[in-house]
Structure 1
C-alpha cells in the first residue's frame, strides 16, 4: 500500500514542530490521506501567526486579493494546468467521481471566482468595495464608513463536492480575513492543490491560510481551533452544524449552511414554449452536475398535468440522463453508497409496480435513476443522480407539496412563463426559497447570490462609522490615507 498523502497546507511561517498527523477516515478514503493539526496546547501559536498574516492582508488593497483569486482561477480553467491535473486525480480517488464529473464540477465552481464576479458581489453587499481599504464617504450617514473583516475566520467544510472549499476561502479572503480551513473527509484533497497554486500567484495571500483536518468526533480540536477565530463558517448536516454552534462565543460572527432541499417546477406553458426534449436536457443537467451531491441539486421536479405530462417528462428525462451519463459518467461509488442506492432503487421499483400511475427507469449500472412518484413524500432521497418526477395539478398543488419542506427549501428551478412565473416566484419566495433560477441553471449559482438568503460577506464584517464630526463633513471623497492596519 502506498504512503498516505498529506492534505494540509501550512504557510512557511508555521512551526511544523508543534503539529501532529490526523488520519482522514471514511469509506473509500481511509488510510489514503492525512492532515496536520496543532498538538493540544499549540493552537494558540498557529492563531498568533494567522493574526499576523491578517495584518498583511489588511494592508493590501482589496483589488490585489481579487486579482490573485482571478489569476488563480484563470489558470485552473485550463484542464491541463498541473495543479488541476493532480487535483482531478486525487478527487477521483477520494470520491469515486469520474474524471469527467470532476472536471464538470470544477468548471462550474471555479468560474465563479473571476474578477468581474467578485467585484459584483462586493458591490452588491458593500456598495463601495473601497470600504475594505479605508474610510469612504457615506452620503446617507452624512459621514464616512469603514468595513473591517475578522482577523481569523474558521471554515468547516462538508461533503464531497469538487471545489466547494473555495467558496468559504474566497469569502473570507475578500474581507481580508486569515483562514483556518478544515477539510471534509469525503473530499479532503482539493484545498491543498488550490492553495499551492494561489501561493504561486501571490504568496502573501496564501500565507494567510491554513488547511487542516481533524475527525468530526474530535471536539477538543474543534474547540481549540474555534478559539482562534473571530468568525466561523460551517457547512454540514444538522448534527455537524449543531456541534459547531455548541462552541460559539458571543463575540464570534457565525454563518451556517446546514441541510437544504432543492426542487424544480415545470408548468405546461413552459413545456410547450421550450419543448420536451430541451426541458429534459436541462433537468438532466440540474440533477447530474456534482453527481447531485450539492444542496442546489434538485431531488425532484414537480410537473403540471397537461400534454406533454409527467409521464412524458419522466420518459424524456430518462433518455436525457442516459445521454448526459454517456458524456459524463457517474464514476465508482463507495461500497456503502452503492448498496444504499441499490436498496433505494429496489424500493422505487416496487412502489412503481404497485401503482398504476407510477414509473421507474434506470441505467444498467448505477449512473442514473428516474422515478414517477405520486407525491414528494414518496421520493426516496437524493444523490448519485436519482431524481423523482411528481405530478401536480395547479399552483395550489405545487405549494401544498412544497410546504412541508419550507424550513429547508433552498433552490427552485422554476419552469414557468409570463404572469404565472411571477405569481409562482412570489409564492415560492414567501414559502422559503432563497434562489429561483431557470431549469438547467440550478447547479451553477453565482457567488453574487445571497446564499441561503444571507448576505454572506457582510455578515462577517464589523463596521466603523464617522458621523457628526466637522472633519467628516469637510473631507473630500477620495479614499482615506490613514493606515487601517493600526486600527
Structure 2
C-alpha cells in the first residue's frame, strides 16, 4: 500500500511529464530521493525518526503563498511543485498578464492535486492571513514591498534581482562556432528575462582563443538563431533601452579599439557587444549580450557580481568548476545548460523543501 507521500509523488511525476521543458524530466523515485537529500530522510515527513540522540519529524507548511513573476514560467511551476510534494495548500498569485504555461500545468493536474491549488491575479487578505510561508519572485523593490506584509511566524523566501554569466576558460577541443552555439542557448531562451539567462560571456584570451573573434562568431550564431527562433515583439521602452545602448557602443567602437558591436540590421532582435573592460553590467535584455575578457582576478567584475545566480562554465569538469567556486554564484553548470537546472538544485542557494518545513523533536532521556 503506497504511503500518501509516495502516491503524491507518482501523481506529480505523471502530471509533470508533458512539462519537462520547464520542470525537467523526473520520476516519482527522483522526488523521493530529492526529499531524502533535503530532509535527511523522506520518512521524516509525518513520522518521528532517529536524529542523533533524539527523534524528530518534519512538519510541512500547511498553506503556501506563491507570488509568481511573469518573466519565465519555470520559476512559478517549480515553486508550485515544492508545495505539491509537501501536500500543502497553494495560493498562487499569477502575473496580471497571466502565465499560460503555469495555468496549463494546473489544468493538467489530477483532481487530487488540483484541489490543492488556487490561482488568482490578486492576493485576497485571507491569503496573507493563512499563509505559513510566502515564496516571492520579482524585483528587489517588489520584495521590499512584500516584506512589509509578512507577519511574525511566516517564512518569507525571496527570489529577487539576479543575473547569470558564461565563462569560457579554454576551447578544450571546441571550435569558436561550437562554443558560440553552446552560449546562445544560455542567452536567448526566455529572451534573457530569467535569472538563469546569461547577460555576459567571459572569455579567457589565449593563442587559441581570441575574445573579439569569439564575439564575432557569436554574432553569426545569434543571427542564425533569430531566423529559426524569432525573438518576437517587445514593448517600446525595452526597444528604446536597446537602441540607446547600441548608440553608446557604436560611438565607443568608432573612437576606441577596446569596443565593438554587432547587431541585427533592421530591428533590435539581437546585439553582441565586445568590450575590453571586465566590469559586469546588467544587459538591456531581449538578446543583448556582452562579451568580455576573463580577468585573473574575478573581483574585477565589480559590484554587480553580488547578484550572480549561475555561472555556466566551459570546459566543465569538477576541477574547472571548483576553480570558479569562489564566485558568489549559487550554481555552477556547463556552458549551454544554464537554463536547465535539475530537480535537486538550490534556487538562489535555498534548500527548496527544507525551507518549507519546521521540526518537532522528542528529546529522549540519556
Q: TM-score, normalised by structure 1?
A: 0.69
Q: 2:303 aligns with which of 375, 397, 404?
A: 404
Q: What's the counterpart of residue 88 of structure 2? A: 177
Deviation readout 1:321-374 (Å, 9 max, x if unpaired): 122222222112233322332233222322322321211111233332111012
Equivalent-residue separation in structure 2 for 1:383 and 1:63 (angstroms)? 41
Q: 2:255 aligns with which of 354, 359, 363?
A: 354
Residue 312 of structure 2 is aligned to residue 369 of structure 1: no
1:68 corresponds to 2:11: yes
1:321 to 1:456, Cα distance in 2 relative to 1, 3 A: same
Cα 1:465/1:438, change in 2 over 3 Å: same
Partner of 2:166: 264
The structure with the larger Rg is: 1
Greater shift after overlay, 280-289 or 367-376?
367-376
Q: CA deviation at 1:133?
A: 3.9
Query: Who is 1:248 aligned against?
Result: 150
Give 3-state SS (helix, strand or coil) of 1:148's partner.
Answer: strand
Asked if structure 2 preserves the Cα contact closer than 8 Å seen for 1:412 and 1:436, the reply is yes
- Choose the corresponding residue for 2:185, options 281, 285, 301: 285
Is 1:317 paired with 2:228? no
Q: Which residue does 1:147 correspond to in 2?
A: 58
Of 198, 203, 223, the match for 1:298: 198
Range 202-211 or range 416-425, more displaced: 416-425
Given the alignment, which residue of 94, 111, 115 partners 1:203? 111
Counterpart selection for 1:191 from 96, 102, 105: 102
Change (3 A) 1:192 1:419: closer
The answer on whether the counterparts of 1:148 and 1:175 sit within 8 Å (CA) in structure 2 is no
In the alignment, the residues of structure 2 paired with residue 208 and residue 417 of structure 1 have an alpha-carbon distance, to the nearest angstrom, of 40
Cα 1:417–1:379, aligned 2, differ >3 Å: closer, same or farther?
same
Tell me the TM-score normalised to structure 2 length: 0.91
Matches within 5 A, 1:386-397: 386-392=288-294, 394-396=295-297
Q: 1:206 to 1:424 in 2, by over 3 A?
A: same
- Asked if 1:451 corresponds to 2:347, the answer is yes
Q: 1:250 Cα shift?
A: 1.4
Corresponding residue for residue 134 of structure 1: 47
Aligned pair in 2 of structure 1 residues 402, 310: CA closer, same or farther (>3 Å)?
same
Which piece of structure 1 moves more, 413-422 or 440-449? Answer: 413-422
Aligned pairs, how many? 363
Distance in 1 of aligned mates of 2:75 and 2:348: 15
**For the structure 1 residues 440 and 253, does the alpha-carbon distance in structure 2 shift closer, same or farther, using more than 3 Å as the test?**
same
CA displacement at 1:418 relative to structure 2: 6.8
Question: Residue in 2 aligned with 1:119?
Answer: 32
Match of 1:109 among 4, 15, 22: 22
Q: Deviations over 1:34-83 (max 9, x none)?
A: xxxxxxxxxxxxxxxxxxxxxxxxx9711122212211122x25xxxxxx
Quote the Cα distance in structure 2 between the aligned partners of 1:197 and 1:125: 27
Q: Contact between 1:254 and 1:460, CA under 8 Å: does it hold in 2?
A: no
When residues 388 and 454 of structure 1 are mapped into structure 2, their CA distance, relative to the original with a 3 A threshold, is same
Q: What pairs with 1:393-472 in structure 2 (closer than 5 Å)? A: 394-396=295-297, 399-416=298-315, 421=320, 424-428=323-327, 432-468=328-364
1:318 Cα offset (Å): 0.9
Which SS does the other structure have where 2:324 is aligned?
A: helix
Q: Give the RMSD, CA atoms, in angstroms.
A: 2.4
Q: Distance in 2 between matches of 1:314 and 1:290?
A: 21
Q: CA deviation at 1:112?
A: 4.9
Classify 1:377/1:124 alpha carbon distance in 2 versus 1 (closer, same or farther; 3 Å).
same
Unaligned runs of 5+ in 1: 1-58, 78-106, 215-220, 471-487
